[in-house]
């Protein structure tokens, strides 16, 4: 019969249309603006309307999600910032768009380089969020952020991030990437233990 | 190389003794052919030896030797390895005979080589620039050509570390001051020569004696919602029928290949994401295969990494085909309802990419010798849920929704027909080739990675029209789901076996051509290494660019409204077309 295909297709649209209402009735208010509801709409069983109403609702960011880098600092007993970065320059070397600038600091007395960056700039206009800097940093000092809401009104004055703006506490990093930070912590502890054992042997 | 191809090459060597010479540079393969004998050689290859599919034509600038080289990769449409042959010409006057008369698929690629390298192709019927605009000065892929904001020949740049000299390139070169015009030249009063040439070639008066009708030249694009980006088709119309059509591209050209030659090998991986931004995983795949061939350590890749690569590539294929089908329906005028149903499934696939690689579209997940990281916990279940439950169900629904629709059939059947012979001659690849009845799929014809372990069919249809291209995509999604199910069941478990990727490595001098069956067809990366940290030549054989060669052939004789869906059925992404 001519037109059967169209009717069949319309049937599918019709089903999609009602799916949303059926789900709405089934879920009540829980379908929207709740974590549970968003998780359901992202799942393999989702049907009907699946749009997430940004910014009222947000998709959860998975652990590996990456957006512009930041520098991690630890805090010592006195509450002082201990920057993990040693300004070794690997991140600046692997950066594909070359958006990382590092200035090494030197000891004013001896003129020798000190393993702390005097300045650290990232031009986030150019950054392509590839994550190489975080991937290849041997000191777990630079990591990719989860904060994707970076829009500013004046890009010419705001978008070169300096060291102060890039620094974030290790606790923040542990919060956004719990599994990775635990893995790195274990690896570091293992390394320390090996070092200590080697020292003992001597 | 198998025994058979070796003997086959012996035949060729015997047949052309004296004309060809083995390319004996270390790390290189194939033959060198004298420029004068090129046409004869190529014709004989096609007619006597069955090498009928000219996949890639590209130039290489060997500046230190004062040579220009044109590299051809040719295949048999029945499968097998490539035969590589090269023509070397002096850099001062590079002229190579055109192969367009034998392989029409060389058309755009030769124009590209002229545009970017300044290699002239004698006998090319439409010898003009393709990516740069007419009137552009110089040939940007030449090694001595320098771009705006040029800093150094190769990254990493010294200013970044330990100098720490922070600056923006736009501060150094202020907008409008970074262009140099010839004397007495005002850009406002300038009509590009190319435009005049383009139009004059297309306008002519019909010779119908009773009815004095004039052909009308119509520009579709570059800003047109149905051209999938900034792409332009200049069509000469007789009434509503297309007499002649010429695609004009390059609006999104950013000289990706030049950027690639400034980059180190590793830095290129995220740049390949930006080619065909709908299927970044496949782009990564092709590039790492090419560099791994150079490195010669393909065997060191852990099995788990190989499986992850295949799984990601197949998910990419599904998401790309969903997008292609959705966009095709949009082009047909089914405004956004089918598109959204397709996008809904695609979003779920992108959720997986985001969880695994960290980004929905710019995945940057493959590394030389493996992948960036193992699958995070929970993603395996997500993938199983899609591959075993949701996708089969939803694809069936999409099938029920669209395939039998009488309007779609009336619009698509018999439109934009490409015969198998034409498809091969025009070097069409992917769904376009397979919808024309040529069951050529790189995964089968020249298997790479672990595709030889999976049971799947090469989707093929025989009418070569828009409807069959749609059906082939639907079939391919189903085959991809089959591969996914096998791969997800068979993926080996191991703890920390993927190793840590390296950021610097020595790539030995030589050349390599890595190709994968991307969602849009054969995606090839031709990389020449000179032993340094940066590739000497980095070329992308872009399927959506080369598939467009056949566009005018497909459109001729059809109605102007059908040109839109023919373009939609090729499924182009301008990021890849223009590079």
Q: Do B341 and A95 touch (CB under 8 A)?
A: no
Nearest to B156 among A2, A45, A98 (CB): A98
Q: How far apart are CA B455 and CA B432, in angstroms?
A: 23
Q: Within a domain: residue B235?
A: no
- Among B93, B122, B151, which residue terminates a domain? B122
Q: How confident is the model at residue B192 (pLDDT cuts 50, 70, 90)?
A: low
Q: Is the same domain home to A92 and A186? A: yes
**Does residue A121 sit in the same domain as residue A174?**
yes
List Cβ neighbours of B313 (8 Å cut-off, separation of 6 or more).
B281, B282, B285, B516
- Per-residue pLDDT at B178: 63
Task: Say which residues have a Cβ less than 8 Å from residue B537's Cβ, sequence separation at least 6.
Answer: B60, B61, B257, B261, B511, B526, B527, B528
The predicted model gives A159-163 an average pLDDT of 86
Nearest by CB to B165, from A93, A101, A136: name it: A101
| Residue A142 included in any domain | yes
Q: Rounded to an integer, what distance in angstroms lies between the CA atom of residue B274 and that of residue A96?
A: 13
Determine contact: A63 vs chain B, CB below 8 A: yes
| Residue A89 Cα, gap to closest chain B Cα (Å) | 6
List Cα–Cα distances, A186 to A84, A179, B372, in angstroms. Answer: 16, 11, 20
Those of residues 151-170 in B touching chain A at CB distance below 8 A are 155-157, 159-166, 168
Quote the pLDDT of residue B486: 92
Least Cα separation, residue B275 to chain A (angstroms):
14
A198: in domain: no
The pLDDT mean for chain B works out to: 85
CB-based contact A44 B348, cutoff 8 Å? yes
Residues B325, B466: contact at Cβ < 8 Å? no
Helices and strands in chain B: count of H runs, count of E runs: 21, 17
B358 contacts A144 by C-beta, under 8 angstroms: yes
How many angstroms separate the CA atoms of A57 and A66, rounded? 20
Please check whether residue A196 lies inside any domain of the structure. Answer: no
pLDDT > 90? residue B147: no
Q: What is the least distance, in Å, from the CA of A3 to any CA of chain B?
A: 6
Chain A touched by B486 (CB under 8 Å): no
Residue carrying the six token digits 């202020």: B174
Q: State the pLDDT at residue B204.
A: 59
What dihedral do alpha carbons A127, A128, A131, A132 form, nearest 10°? -80
Determine how β-strand A113-123 pairs with β-strand A100-106: antiparallel
Per-residue pLDDT band for B57 (boundaries 50, 70, 90) equals very high
- Identify which has the larger pLDDT, B266 or B184: B266
Query: Does residue A27 surpass a pLDDT of 70?
Result: yes
Q: Say if residue B280 is in the same domain as residue B422.
A: yes
Query: Which pair of tokens denotes residue B441?
Result: 């799929």
> What is the mean pLDDT of the segment spanning B229-258?
88
Asked if B156's CB is within 8 angstroms of A92's CB, the reply is: yes
Chain B residue with the nearest C-alpha to that of A127: B270
Query: Is B404's CB within 8 Å of A98's CB?
Result: no
Q: Of A27, A45, A60, at which residue does a domain stop? A: A60
- Is B228 a member of any domain? no
Among A45, A60, A75, the domain boundary falls at A60
- B4 pLDDT band (50/70/90 cuts)? very low
Q: Among B72, B92, B122, which residue terminates a domain?
A: B122
Residues A41 and A133 in one domain: no
- Verify that A25 and A98 share a domain, yes or no: no
What's the mean pLDDT in B64-70?
Answer: 89
Q: Would you state the pLDDT for residue A51?
A: 85
The answer to whether residues B308 and B450 belong to one domain is yes
Q: Which residues pair with A117 in a beta bridge?
A: A104
A167 touches chain B (CB under 8 A): no
CB contact under 8 Å between A9 and B401, yes or no, is: yes
Tokens describing residue B302 = 């852990």
Among chain B residues, the shortest Cα distance to A11 is held by: B401
The answer to the question of residue A197 being in a domain is no
Give pLDDT tens digits for B305-343: 889 999 999 999 999 999 999 999 988 888 888 899 999
Distance separating alpha carbons of residues B439 and B447, to the nearest angstrom: 14
CATH number at residue B493: 1.10.645.10
Q: Which long-range contacts (CB under 8 A, 24 or more apart) does B246-250 make?
A: B246/B198, B246/B202, B246/B552, B247/B548, B247/B551, B247/B552, B248/B198, B248/B221, B248/B222, B249/B130, B249/B131, B249/B545, B249/B548, B249/B574, B249/B577, B249/B578, B250/B129, B250/B130, B250/B131, B250/B132, B250/B133, B250/B578
- Residues of A within 8 A of B155 (CB-CB) are 96, 98
* Shortest alpha-carbon distance between residue A202 and chain B (Å): 30
d(CA B157, CA A97): 10
3-state secondary structure of B371: strand
pLDDT tens for each residue of A76-123 = 888 788 888 888 888 888 999 888 888 888 888 887 888 888 888 888
B404, closest residue in chain A (CA to CA): A5
How many Cβ pairs within 8 Å bridge chains A and B? 143
> At residue A126, does pLDDT exceed 80?
yes
Residue B494: count of CB within 10 angstroms of its CB: 12
Question: Using H for helix, E for strand and C for coil, what is the string for B323-365?
Answer: HHHHHHHHHHCCCCHHHHHHHHHHHHHHHHHHHHHCCCCCCCC
Please tell me which residue of chain A has the smallest CA distance to B170. Answer: A156
pLDDT digits (tens, 9 = 90+) for B457-483: 999 999 989 999 999 999 999 999 999
Whether residues B404 and A119 touch (CB distance < 8 A) is answered with no
* Closest residue by Cα to residue B550 from B414, B418, B411, B415: B418
Based on the domain organization, do A184 and A149 belong to the same domain? yes
The reply to whether residue B341 touches residue A6, judged by beta carbons under 8 angstroms, is: no
Q: Give kind and range of the element (H or E) at residue A9.
A: helix A4-27
Task: For residue B381, give Cα distances in angstroms to B352, B493, B529.
Answer: 10, 14, 41
- A85 part of a folded domain: yes
Number of domain units in chain A: 2
Separation between Cα atoms, residue B442 and residue B452, nearest integer Å: 11
State which residues form the domain around B366.
256-578
| SS3 (DSSP) at B76 | coil
Residue B294, SS3 per DSSP: helix
Query: Would you place residue B1 in the very low, low, confident or very high pLDDT band (cuts 50, 70, 90)?
Result: very low
For residue A164, the number of C-alpha atoms closer than 13 Å in the C-beta half-sphere is 1
- Interchain pair A87, B162: CB under 8 A: yes
Does a structural domain hold residue B12?
yes
- Summarize the confidence of residues A52-72 as an average pLDDT: 89
Q: Which residue of B has its CA nearest to A46?
A: B390
Q: Which of A64, A98, A135 sits opposite B157 (nearest CB)?
A: A98
Q: Does B376 touch chain A (CB under 8 A)?
A: yes
Give the Cβ contact number of residue B154 at 10 Å: 14
Asked if the structure places residue B310 within a domain, the reply is yes
Its pTM stands at: 0.89
Q: Does residue B323 form part of some domain?
A: yes
Over range B244-254, report the average pLDDT.
88
Q: What mean pLDDT comes out for the span A2-18? A: 89
CATH of the domain at B95: 3.30.460.80
Q: Which residues in chain B are closer than 8 Å to A136, comparing Cβ atoms? A: 501, 503
Q: Which segments within B91-186 are labelled E, that is strand? A: 95-97, 120-122
> A52: pLDDT confidence band, cut at 50, 70 and 90?
confident
State yes or no: pLDDT of B127 exceeds 90.
no
Interface list for A 70-129 with B (CB within 8 A): 87, 89-90, 92-96, 98, 100-104, 113, 118-119, 121, 123, 125, 128-129
Question: Residue for token digits 């089934």?
Answer: A26
What integer pLDDT is reported at residue B3 of this predicted model? 42
Do residue A87 and residue A33 come from a single domain?
no
Asked whether residue B365 is domain-assigned, the answer is yes
Interface of A with B in 9-48 (CB under 8 A): 9, 12-13, 16, 42-46
- If asked whether residues A72 and A51 sit together in one domain, one would say no
- Helix (H) or strand (E) run with residue A15 in it: helix A4-27
Domain shared by A157 and A177, yes or no: yes
Half-sphere exposure of B226 (CA within 13 A, CB side): 21
**C-alpha span between A44 and B413 (Å, rounded):** 34
Q: Mutate which of A98, A125, A128, A140 to test chain B, going by most B C-beta atoms within 10 A? A: A98
CA distance B129 to B141: 13
Question: What CATH number corresponds to the domain at position A186?
Answer: 3.30.70.3270
Measure CA A29 to chain center: 31
A127 and A37: one domain?
no
A44 located within any domain: yes
Using an 8 Å CB-CB cutoff, list chain B residues near A3: 406
Q: Is B359 near chain A, with CB under 8 Å?
A: yes
- Residue B135 belongs to a domain: no
Same domain as A137, residue A110: yes
pLDDT at residue B2 in the model: 41
Interface contact A147, partner B, CB < 8 A: no
Residue A201 belongs to a domain: no
Contact A6 B373 (CB under 8 A): no
A172 has a chain B CB within 8 A of its CB: no
Q: How many domains does chain B have?
A: 2
Do the domain assignments include residue A12?
yes
Residue A98 has its nearest CB partner, among B155, B359, B397, at: B155
Q: Is the pLDDT of residue B193 over 70?
A: no
Residue A24 belongs to what domain range? Answer: 1-60
B386 closest CB neighbour out of A6, A44, A95? A44
Contacts of B448 (CB under 8 A, 6+ apart): B289, B442, B514, B515, B516
Q: Touching check for B5 and chain A: CB below 8 Å? A: no
Does A149 lie in the same domain as A90?
A: yes
Measured N-to-C along each axis, helices B466-490 and B303-332 cross at an angle, to the nearest 10 degrees, of 150
CB–CB of B406 and A44 under 8 A?
Answer: no
Q: What pLDDT digit, counting tens, does each position of B282-304 carry?
A: 999 999 989 888 887 655 788 88
Residue A83 bridge partners (DSSP)? A73
Give the number of C-alpha atoms closer than 13 A to the C-alpha of residue A166, restricted to the C-beta side. Answer: 28
A128 and A166 belong to one structural domain: yes
With bands split at pLDDT 50, 70 and 90, how would you rate the model's confidence at A181?
confident
pLDDT digits (tens, 9 = 90+) for B33-44: 888 888 888 898
* pLDDT per position as a tens digit, B347-372: 999 999 999 998 999 999 988 888 88
Which of A41, A60, A79 terminates a domain? The answer is A60
Residue B194's pLDDT band (cuts 50, 70, 90) = low
At residue A170, the pLDDT reads 87
């Amino acid at each position: 019969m001519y037109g059967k295909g169209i009717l069949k297709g319309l049937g599918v649209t019709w089903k999609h249309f009602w799916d949303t209402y059926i789900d709405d009735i089934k879920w009540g208010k829980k379908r929207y603006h709740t974590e549970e509801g968003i998780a359901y709409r992202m799942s393999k069983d989702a049907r009907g309307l699946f749009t997430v109403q940004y910014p009222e609702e947000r998709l959860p960011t998975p652990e590996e999600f990456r957006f512009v880098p930041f520098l991690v600092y630890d805090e010592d007993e006195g509450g002082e910032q201990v920057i993990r970065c040693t300004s070794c320059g690997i991140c600046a070397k692997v950066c594909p768009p070359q958006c990382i600038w590092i200035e090494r600091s030197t000891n004013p007395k001896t003129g020798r380089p000190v393993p702390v960056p005097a300045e650290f700039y990232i031009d986030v206009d150019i950054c392509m969020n590839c994550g190489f800097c975080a991937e290849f940093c041997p000191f777990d000092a630079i990591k990719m952020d989860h904060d994707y809401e970076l829009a500013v009104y004046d890009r010419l004055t705001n978008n070169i991030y300096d060291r102060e703006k890039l620094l974030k506490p290790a606790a923040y990093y542990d919060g956004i990437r719990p599994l990775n930070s635990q893995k790195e912590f274990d690896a570091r502890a293992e390394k320390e233990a090996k070092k200590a054992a080697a020292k003992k042997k001597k | 190389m198998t025994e058979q191809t070796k003997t086959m090459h012996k035949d060729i060597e015997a047949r052309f003794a004296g004309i060809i010479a083995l390319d004996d540079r270390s790390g290189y393969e194939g033959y060198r052919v004298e420029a004068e004998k090129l046409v004869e050689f190529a014709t004989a290859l096609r007619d006597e030896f069955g090498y009928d599919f000219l996949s890639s034509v590209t130039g290489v600038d060997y500046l230190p030797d004062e040579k220009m080289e044109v590299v051809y990769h040719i295949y048999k449409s029945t499968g097998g390895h490539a035969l590589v042959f090269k023509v070397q010409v002096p850099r001062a006057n590079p002229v190579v005979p055109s192969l367009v008369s034998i392989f029409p698929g060389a058309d755009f690629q030769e124009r590209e080589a002229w545009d970017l390298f300044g290699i002239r192709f004698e006998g090319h019927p439409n010898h003009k620039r393709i990516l740069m605009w007419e009137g552009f000065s110089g040939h940007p892929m030449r090694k001595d050509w320098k771009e705006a904001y040029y800093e150094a020949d190769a990254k990493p740049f010294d200013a970044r570390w330990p100098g720490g000299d922070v600056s923006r390139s736009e501060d150094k070169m202020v907008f409008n001051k970074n262009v140099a015009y010839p004397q007495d030249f005002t850009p406002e009063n300038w009509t590009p020569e190319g435009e005049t040439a383009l139009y004059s070639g297309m306008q002519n008066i019909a010779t119908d004696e009773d009815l004095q009708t004039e052909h009308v030249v119509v520009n579709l694009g570059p800003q047109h919602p149905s051209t999938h980006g900034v792409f332009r088709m200049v069509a000469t119309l007789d009434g509503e029928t297309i007499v002649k059509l010429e695609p004009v591209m390059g609006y999104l050209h950013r000289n990706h290949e030049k950027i690639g030659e400034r980059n180190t090998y590793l830095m290129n991986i995220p740049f390949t994401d930006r080619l065909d931004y709908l299927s970044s995983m496949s782009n990564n795949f092709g590039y790492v295969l090419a560099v791994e061939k150079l490195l010669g350590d393909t065997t060191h890749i852990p099995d788990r990494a190989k499986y992850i690569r295949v799984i990601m590539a197949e998910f990419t294929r599904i998401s790309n085909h969903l997008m292609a089908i959705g966009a095709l329906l949009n082009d047909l005028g089914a405004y956004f309802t089918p598109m959204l149903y397709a996008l809904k499934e695609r979003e779920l696939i992108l959720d997986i990419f985001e969880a695994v690689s960290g980004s929905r579209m710019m995945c940057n997940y493959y590394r030389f010798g493996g992948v960036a990281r193992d699958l995070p916990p929970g993603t395996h279940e997500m993938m199983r849920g899609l591959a075993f439950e949701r996708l089969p169900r939803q694809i069936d629904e999409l099938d029920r929704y669209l395939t039998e629709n009488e309007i779609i059939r009336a619009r698509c059947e018999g439109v934009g027909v490409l015969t198998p012979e034409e498809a091969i001659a025009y070097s069409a690849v992917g769904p376009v080739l397979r919808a024309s009845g040529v069951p050529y799929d790189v995964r089968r014809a020249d298997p790479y990675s672990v595709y030889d372990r999976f049971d799947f069919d090469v989707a093929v249809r025989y009418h070569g029209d828009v409807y069959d291209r749609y059906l082939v995509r639907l079939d391919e999604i189903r085959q991809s789901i089959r591969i996914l199910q096998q791969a997800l069941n068979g993926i080996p478990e191991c703890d920390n076996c993927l190793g840590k990727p390296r950021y610097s490595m020595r790539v030995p001098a030589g050349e390599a051509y890595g190709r994968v069956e991307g969602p849009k067809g054969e995606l090839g990366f031709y990389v020449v290494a000179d032993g340094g940290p940066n590739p000497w030549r980095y070329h992308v054989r872009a399927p959506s660019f080369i598939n467009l060669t056949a566009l005018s052939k497909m459109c001729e004789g059809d109605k102007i409204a059908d040109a839109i869906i023919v373009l939609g059925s090729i499924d182009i992404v301008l990021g890849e077309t223009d590079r």
